[in-house]
Amino acid sequence: MVLTIYTVIHVLISLVGIVTGLVVVIGMCRSQHLPTWTAIFLATTVLTSVTGFGFPFERLMPSHIVGVISLIVLALAIPALYRFHLAGRWRLVYVVGSVVALYFNTFVLVAQSFLKIPFLTALAPTQSEPPFAVAQLAVLVIFIVLGVMAARSFHPEAHRPVLGMA
């Protein structure tokens, strides 16, 4: 019962992170800085990785590795935004870090969907079948395209008034 409640909370946090992350990344592609959405995205994405380690396990699994890498990426992206205010190369660190962290959450969502949704499980019971590979490849391509678009487009400093010019 406790594990079921924990799982529901973890999944809800993950879904909020993915939805808000999509809003943030699409905003980046439009050169929009969305502070509230961004704060929720970053917080829930960190919580997703942290709560992922709260499930019982006997061996290191790919999801643990993804969680560790995601936390490392976020440990760079968060200060890039809040400490270094996207100055210079920190803008790219933030954009890439945010897109990569969102990709990792989406990657795990797809993997879990193939494990938990009967229709998808039937298509790829061991996650080594072509439907799983095609789904993950499609997600990867989408995030590469979004990442390139966001890196090229996201210049929030261009929208800030220059001191003395406002």
Q: What is the DSSP string of 81-98?
A: HHTSTTTTTHHHHHHHHH
Query: According to the model, what pLDDT value does residue 158 have?
Result: 54
92, 86, 127, 103: which is closest to 48 by C-alpha? 103
In whole angstroms, how far apart are CA 159 and each of 32, 76, 156?
A: 9, 24, 6
Give residue for tokens 């909020």.
16
d(CA 94, CA 80): 5
**Amino acid (1-letter code) at residue 49:** S
Both tokens assigned to 137:
């490849």
pLDDT at 124: 95
Mean pLDDT by 10 residues, the chain (166 residues): 90 98 98 96 97 90 92 98 95 98 96 95 95 97 98 80 47
**d(Cα 66, Cα 74) in Å, to the nearest integer?**
12
20 neighbors 44 (Cβ within 8 angstroms):
yes
For residue 23, what pLDDT is reported? 98
Q: Which two tokens stand for residue 140?
A: 């990867």
pTM of structure: 0.91
Q: How far apart are CA 57 and CA 61, in angstroms?
A: 8
